[in-house]
Amino acid sequence: MSLLLKNIAKMQIMLADMEAEFGIRDIGAIEKSVLSSVADLAGDTTLVSTKDILQHPLNNVYSRPSLFRALKNLENLGKIAKGGKKRGLYTLVG
Amino acid sequence: MKEHIQNFLIVSVAYITAYSLVLGFIAPLQQMLLNNVILEVSLLFLPHGIRVLSFWFFGWRAAIYLLPAAYLMMVVSAQAGITLDLWSPLGNILACLLGFLFAKAVFPDLATKRGIPNWKYFGIIALFSSLFNSVGMTALHAHELNLSIASGYVIGDMAGFFVCFLILMYGFRFARLLTTVNDA
């Protein structure tokens, strides 16, 4: 049974990647919140720091690991991208 | 042993379901819209996607899992008026195995570090399998290497593979949506 579950999980991951490439992957509540905060902060500057994203009022209900995971997911989905020369700076894509 | 029976059942059910969709829905529609295409060529052959997935998940064993369902569907096809060569199910499956092994040999690094390749890698397996399959099936059914029939097989296999993956993708999406609705 565990092999079957493993295979189903593999297929789900592959199909989720396919969804992301087709641009129809849904994003979760935390990702939506992080994306909104990036959009909000990007109003002042193009590049938004991770520190500002973590401290944004929309995100203060989530744990740090969840927020970092959401940032990674959004980056993988091509919604945000790393920018600037310093580490931890993000910019909206598109 | 239990695991093999489970794999065999999953592969068989998936293959029979996909083939039934082709026989009951796509083939009649194709006959109505494109009646100049020979009956043995389906322009949207969904089971190709199942074959590709089976070979990727189970390797050469997929050939054994797929064979009974393939022969069963050959009999069902004959009942539906589409007579296939006796060697055609075996040829299809061996062509897919060859395509799978060829894709693995040509692109050994395409699998990601998690061991899950991108869906496009499955497309490469599907293409190689389809090319081998089209040569074999054209020789069996047309008794010569007819380019238009061979390209019909490739188009049917690749379109079927793509639509099969789209159906799976939307199926999993729908399942996720149902879970979200149930949780709410």
Question: Is the confidence at residue B169, as pLDDT, over 80?
Answer: yes
pLDDT digit string, tens, across residues B29-64: 998 898 877 777 889 999 999 999 999 999 999 999
The CA distance from A22 to A36, in Å, is 22
Closest Cα in chain A, distance from residue B113 (Å): 12
Strands A89-92 and A80-82: what pairing?
antiparallel
Higher pLDDT, B183 or B82: B82
Question: Is the confidence at residue A68, as pLDDT, over 60?
Answer: yes
CATH code for the domain of A43: 1.10.10.10
The CA distance from B138 to B58, in Å, is 27
Q: Is residue A15 part of a domain?
A: no
**Residue A8 touches partner B, C-beta closer than 8 Å:** no
CA-based nearest residue to B57, from A81, A48, A11: A11
pLDDT at residue B17 in the model: 96
Helices (H), B22-146: 27-33, 47-58, 61-79, 88-106, 119-141
CA-based nearest residue to B79, from B37, B27, B130: B27
Query: What ipTM, to 2 d.p.?
Result: 0.80
Give the residue numbers spanning the domain of A68.
Answer: 28-92
Report yes or no: B124 and B110 within 8 Å, Cβ to Cβ.
Answer: yes
Q: Is the pTM of this model over 0.90?
A: no
Query: Are B119 and A12 an interchain contact pair (Cβ–Cβ within 8 Å)?
Result: no
Query: Are B118 and A7 an interchain contact pair (Cβ–Cβ within 8 Å)?
Result: no
Cβ neighbours of residue B96 closer than 8 Å, sequence gap 6 or more: B48, B51, B52, B55, B62, B63, B129, B132, B133
Contact list in B for residue A32 (CB cut-off 8 A) is none
User: How many CB atoms lie under 10 A from the CB of residue A61?
Assistant: 9
Q: Which long-range contacts (CB under 8 A, 24 or more apart) does A60-68 make?
A: A62/A30, A62/A33, A66/A30, A67/A30, A67/A34
Q: Is residue A16 part of a domain?
A: no
Contact list in B for residue A22 (CB cut-off 8 A) is 169
User: How many CB atoms lie under 10 A from the CB of residue B104?
Assistant: 18
Report yes or no: A3 and B3 within 8 Å, Cβ to Cβ.
Answer: yes
- Among A53-62, B39-48, B88-97, top mean pLDDT goes to B88-97
**Residue A21 touches partner B, C-beta closer than 8 Å:** yes
Q: Is residue A9 part of a domain?
A: no
pLDDT at residue B112 in the model: 54
* Entry field: residues in chain B: 184
The CA distance from B18 to B114, in Å, is 29
CA-based nearest residue to B162, from B29, B53, B9: B53
pLDDT digit string, tens, across residues B100-157: 999 988 887 765 555 678 888 899 999 999 999 999 888 887 777 788 888 999 999 9
Query: Are B119 and A15 an interchain contact pair (Cβ–Cβ within 8 Å)?
Result: yes
Give me the percent of chain B exceeding a pLDDT of 90: 58
User: What is the separation of C-alpha B162 from the centre of its chain, rounded to a whole number of angstroms?
Assistant: 10
Report yes or no: B157 and B176 within 8 Å, Cβ to Cβ.
Answer: no
Confidence of residue B182 (pLDDT cuts 50, 70, 90): low
Closest Cα in chain B, distance from residue A4 (Å): 8
Q: Is residue A21 part of a domain?
A: no
Average pLDDT of the segment spanning A19-36: 81
Q: Is residue A6 part of a domain?
A: no
Number of structural domains in chain A? 1
Question: Is the confidence at residue A28, as pLDDT, over 80?
Answer: no
Q: Is residue A3 part of a domain?
A: no
Preferred mutation among B172, B177, B180 to probe A, highest tally of A CBs within 10 A = B172
Residue among A4, A12, A16 whose CB faces B6 most closely? A4
Q: Is residue A44 part of a domain?
A: yes
Paired tokens of B61 = 């064993």
Residue among B10, B57, B165 whose CB faces A18 most closely? B165
Question: Is the confidence at residue A94, as pLDDT, over 60?
Answer: yes
Contact list in A for residue B165 (CB cut-off 8 A) is 15, 18
Residue among A7, A12, A15 whose CB faces B57 most closely? A7
Q: What is the CATH number of domain B2-183?
A: 1.10.1760
Higher pLDDT, A10 or B131: B131
Query: Are B172 and A12 an interchain contact pair (Cβ–Cβ within 8 Å)?
Result: yes
3 state DSSP class of A48:
strand
